[in-house]
A = this chain, B = another copy of it.
């Protein structure tokens, strides 16, 4: 099957605040022939689309379904369906994503397949929730020669808390369980942020036992753990 698409832009649209989109992202979204919007469930509101909808008018948009399932074989079929939709568009298209397309983004799966098919892909970077969350907490992520790590599921946090100045835990709905392992250590403070820059943003900063984790069980919550020196 020959491909029709000329170029695919992977566009990061930033976080909740619709003004945290770049001029370049807007320029691309305005010029492309079609915008694809990844969704995790049919009928579910796309956050990425909410961010851009006031910036674009009467644009041809289409959803791409990427359910949040673990079965890789099943997932692969969804990716292939998505890729087929994308490559059979004429002209230039954009696939939007919240945050940045290079950091734990749905787009990376499409990107891999598009590269294998030698399709021209350009990434347009976006503001990541890791930075927006640090801003929401009012603390720098790292300064000077400090070391930082991102542990998606919090794996080995009890070990890395002694080696890294800042640890970010994201992509989990159960931050409490992941952070429980360090609760008896005395060398850290926990910052939690739910939906940074959204209207219902929530933050907390303190020790494990001081935090009401129920407020941060959202998939868009993340933890920034700072080691005390």
**Partner pick for A147 among B100, B145, B150, CB 8 A cutoff:** B150
**Partner pick for A125 among B18, B132, B153, B164, CB 8 A cutoff:** B132
Given that A125-B132, A135-B125 are contacting pairs, would A164 and B143 also be in contact in the complex, using a CB cutoff of 8 Å?
Answer: no
Across-interface contacts of A131 in B (CB, < 8 A): 12, 100, 102-103, 125-126, 128
A104, B135: Cβ atoms under 8 Å? Answer: no
B102, A141: Cβ atoms under 8 Å? Answer: yes
B155, A108: Cβ atoms under 8 Å? Answer: no
- Residues of A near any B CB (own CB < 8 A): 12, 14, 17-24, 26-27, 100-105, 108-109, 111, 115, 121-128, 131-132, 134-135, 138-153, 155-156, 163-164, 171
**12 A-B residue contacts at CB 8 Å?**
A14-B22, A17-B24, A21-B23, A102-B131, A102-B142, A104-B146, A105-B140, A125-B127, A128-B131, A145-B171, A146-B152, A148-B149
15 other contacts beyond A18-B23, A102-B141, with CB at 8 A cut-off?
A20-B23, A20-B125, A100-B131, A102-B131, A102-B135, A103-B131, A103-B140, A104-B146, A108-B143, A115-B138, A123-B134, A125-B132, A142-B152, A145-B171, A148-B149
Across-interface contacts of A127 in B (CB, < 8 A): 22, 100, 125-127
| CA gap between A121 and B177 in the complex, in Å | 33
| CA gap between A23 and B17 in the complex, in Å | 10
Nearest to A102 among chain B residues (CB) is B134
Across-interface contacts of A126 in B (CB, < 8 A): 127, 131
Given that A132-B125, A135-B102, A138-B121 are contacting pairs, would A150 and B148 also be in contact in the complex, using a CB cutoff of 8 Å?
Answer: yes
| CA gap between A152 and B128 in the complex, in Å | 20
**Partner pick for A152 among B20, B140, B145, CB 8 A cutoff:** B145
Closest 10 CB pairs of A and B: A123-B135, A19-B24, A102-B134, A149-B149, A108-B140, A108-B143, A19-B23, A125-B131, A148-B150, A102-B141
